[in-house]
A and B are shown apart, each in its own frame.
Chain A
Amino acid sequence: MRAINYRPDRTWSLALALLPFLLLALAYIVSSGVRLADNPNDKLLPGFATMGQAIDAYALKPDLRTGDYLFWSDTAASMTRLVTGLVISTTIALVVGLVVGLLPVANATLSPVISVLSMVPPLALLPILFIIMGLGEASKITLIVVGTSLKLTRDIALRVQDIPREQLIKAQTLGASTTQIGLRIMLPQILPRLIDAVRLEIGPAWLFLIAAEAIAADSGLGYRIFLVRRYLSMDVILPYVAWITILAFSMDLALRVLQRKAFPWFAEARSA
């Protein structure tokens, strides 16, 4: 049989999906074991036991100086920044994208400036944000908003224009006004597509967050990683990185589930 026609069944799919993860874990265990056998004090590839101790110290025992559970207070600080930033940027993208996609005049006015501004590297703006807004939460959230909202807006405007022209004509022949078309035809059809767009921006949002926290912060997952880097504390950094990955992946999964539950027509319409 040709390779393109061989489809794994459910069990095989699961096994194949797990395989690369197992290989990665195995590679780590082997190389860590080799290094630790050489030098039991090696800090670069700590064993799982060492990492377990670090997790215990950060997540399950209060910090001696502040009394906080650092792992959880870092998570709360980072998630607050990330979610606030994403919510603001999604709202901007939805409103502006809808207007730009629907109204030719808004499109002519705004889409060139959005295209140009979305090419500004957001990290290059970080010093400016720090100067203007100080080192507090506002500058970090603003970085996330600046970094993600322009791309989201362009994406939404394009997706509005992707909705078949026939639907716009049809709505007009049913007597719909511009606002009615925006609210009853475009908005409900854009929301599930917005979820897709946001899913793609979760990665960049984390990037901007970690970068901002690494440079100036007093809490947060990125802050912690860059703090303990000074002591080569790979036993803390690695679990933190894994935790960030899990958080990002769960957000993606949650949005996917939300899309399926809240817009049951979308999957059908897309496959049709």
Chain B
Amino acid sequence: MNAIVFDKVWKEYGDHVVLEQIDLEIAPRAFVALVGPSGCGKTTFLRMLLGEERPTRGHIEVGGAPLKPEPDSDRGVVFQRYSVFPHLTVLGNVVIGREFEKSGALGKLFGAKRRQAEEEARTLLNAVGLSGHETKYPAALSGGMQQRLALAQALMRRPRVLLLDEPFGALDPGIRADIHVLMRRIWNESELTVVMVTHDLREAFELGTRIIAFERPRNRPEEAERYGSRLSADIPQPVDRLLVQRGATVTRDFEIWPKKVAGSDVWIRHDAETPRS
């Protein structure tokens, strides 16, 4: 069980309401894409899920238990930048997850245990297409390769939930397409619930099984239209922050159709079509 439940969650910083009344249930093995204009609280939402921020009101459950108030190994994460450790080699970056798990205060494995961890790490690196780069430092890798490494590193601890904070936003379109294929394979092959923040609606529709849009609920009548225009032309809508005193909340929440099922290959047919809502 790795369902995620948000029960009437509010997040405020002083007078500033960032998120209000978030009521959500995310099914196990879902691939949720969070979209919305800049500053709408998508990242705050992800941070709360990560345990980095606590909700002001309401509570969050993962797998039936209340969320731990700090980041932990049941939730993996990939950020847009700074996800990997610059002082470790590619192999070291992946092995370190096992080292934290299996060793004491030193956080270092030796001998047979280390060889076993390295073996696992090599398998993962191979799966993300990084074999042959084991001894390089992250700075010597391209942006796309660094994100592949960050994925392998996050998967080493077999998290139940994988959180992605605009992980592919800084990549070239071609490289992004390749890493999308990898991301789908990872989601299909491992027992993961994925929550991804993205600016890229195409990416959201391509990867997600469910799209959740955040917006500040002003001018409710216009909202549907506004959302529509974002889809067709991707024009950023100005949010007049001076007038808005209320926090953002979920304004759109729907399943992608045809339905994608983790572990099946239904998505392949969908992939050939143009994304639609």
Contact = CB atoms under 8 A, between A and B. Distances in A.
A268 B140 contact: yes
Contact of A265 (B70, B86, B108): B86
B50 interface: yes
B137 A265 contact: yes
Contacts of B70: 172
A180 B77 contact: no
A136 interface: no
Interface string A143-176: 0000000000000000000001011011111111
B87 A173 contact: no
A177 B72 CA distance: 10
B97 interface: yes
A203 to B, nearest CB: 28
A164 B86 CA distance: 11
A207 interface: no
B72 A172 contact: yes
Interface string B131-164: 0000001111000000000000110110100000
B100 A269 contact: no
A73 interface: no
A264 interface: yes
Contacts of B84: 170
Interface stretch (A84-92, A182-190, A242-250): A182-190
A183 B103 CA distance: 12
B68 to A, nearest CB: 10
B159 A173 contact: yes
A189 B139 CA distance: 14
Given A169-B50, A184-B108, A174 B96 contact: yes
Contact of B85 (A167, A173, A180, A264): A167
B100 A174 contact: yes
A173 B83 contact: no
Nearest to B103: A180
A271 B137 CA distance: 13
Nearest to A190: B87
A166 B80 CA distance: 9
B13 interface: no
B71 A173 contact: yes
| Band of interface residues on B | 35 or more
B53 to A, nearest CB: 11
Contacts, number: 98
Interface in B89-110: 96-97, 99-101, 103, 105-108
B86 A166 contact: no
A39 interface: no
B139 A265 contact: yes
B107 A169 contact: no
Contacts of A185: 85
A5 interface: no
A264 B135 CA distance: 12
Nearest to B89: A265
B82 A173 contact: no
A79 to B, nearest CB: 31
B271 to A, nearest CB: 30
A263 B86 CA distance: 11
Contacts of A167: 82, 85
A41 interface: no
A109 interface: no
B105 A173 contact: no
A196 to B, nearest CB: 15
Contacts of A271: 139
Contacts of A183: 105-107
Contact of A268 (B97, B101, B139, B156): B139
A180 B100 contact: yes
Nearest to B102: A175
B134 to A, nearest CB: 14
Interface in B51-82: 52, 70-73, 75-77, 79, 81-82
A11 interface: no
A66 interface: no
A184 B73 contact: no
Contacts of B96: 174, 184
A272 interface: yes
A171 B79 contact: no
B87 to A, nearest CB: 5
Nearest to B97: A174
B79 A175 contact: no
Given A183-B106, A268-B140, A272-B139, A174 B73 contact: yes
B87 A263 contact: yes
Contacts of A166: 79, 81-83
A88 B188 CA distance: 55
A175 B158 CA distance: 11
A188 B87 contact: yes
9 contacts: A166-B82, A170-B79, A170-B84, A170-B154, A175-B100, A189-B85, A189-B87, A268-B139, A269-B138
Given A174-B100, A176-B100, 6 more contacts: A174-B156, A177-B100, A177-B105, A184-B100, A264-B137, A268-B139
